[in-house]
Structure 1
């Protein structure tokens, strides 16, 4: 099935939004995710529904069909493998790779994808901690993590994943040692959303404004500290 790059972008966006909820995805949510207008989204959803890539219910939103999910998973796999390859083999900073991967993800062959995966040792996550779909395009299990803002003061957590689309946020996090695998102790959560935490990678506490903290997903350590 030949799809345009824009169609694939929509399927990927719906897939990523579905990972956050068990509910259908509203037109307004897709518009926010892709920074387009709601009428533009409606027009594209008409085309995707005609191709049986999305299932729509009036006033309730959309979900991906099985075929739509398969397409989305392939694009997500391309994107995250490319991010890993650019970071590990071409010395890109993790704040730079999202835009490059966005441009390349639609145009690589399956052979190229397989060679990239092999060169990387078949990674399970990208540089930002996001799960990479397997070669058979089975959906990854949902990560057992949530936004750092949802935890209480005093909690010991491990950074699981950070959103990859804002270079300024990624640069800020890297500068303060907040990356996947890093342990944090949440020292304070201010009423206005500022999170203060101590990183295992830094001597001084790090302050995460709400706009930054929203991008950081954390999980309880697999082994509680004694």
Structure 2
């Protein structure tokens, strides 16, 4: 009799526990993200059942070393209360150009930008979490990228656009300097002539 009760109890436990495990695996499959990195365009895309996220690194500013980052969000659900959380290492200064909570509509693409300013050489991971706050649960997706900096705090490998902008700035500086020197020489000559006339005693 005891043996029969034990078998019955085991069967009951298996019946109730099995759907729980099946449900857990099903949820895990739904929330799994697909990540695609495009090194040529400096973008990383992460897609799951809730959000399609694309993180793009813009061209570094040669003057102040700031690096623009743009997050493109295409929600696959209506998300009236969406939180955007950036995870930035402390070795960067950060200028966030958007609100932390935003209202997003399904299948529309939104862009949100920040500027980061490196303060130390090295390789650093930057990520951003997008969280949809629902009535009974939170739906989320994450995208991340790595930034490598030289001793001069320049992003590696160097973007061709960065090199071009640096050369244009150098040429502009040389041009302005040349014009300034030319004008200074012309003005100095005129002043010297006037000064010479002023110092010459009348005959």
Shorter-chain TM-score: what band? under 0.3
TM-score by length of 2: 0.23
Q: Pick the structure with more strand per residue.
A: 2
Q: Which has the larger radius of gyration?
A: 2
TM-score by length of 1: 0.21
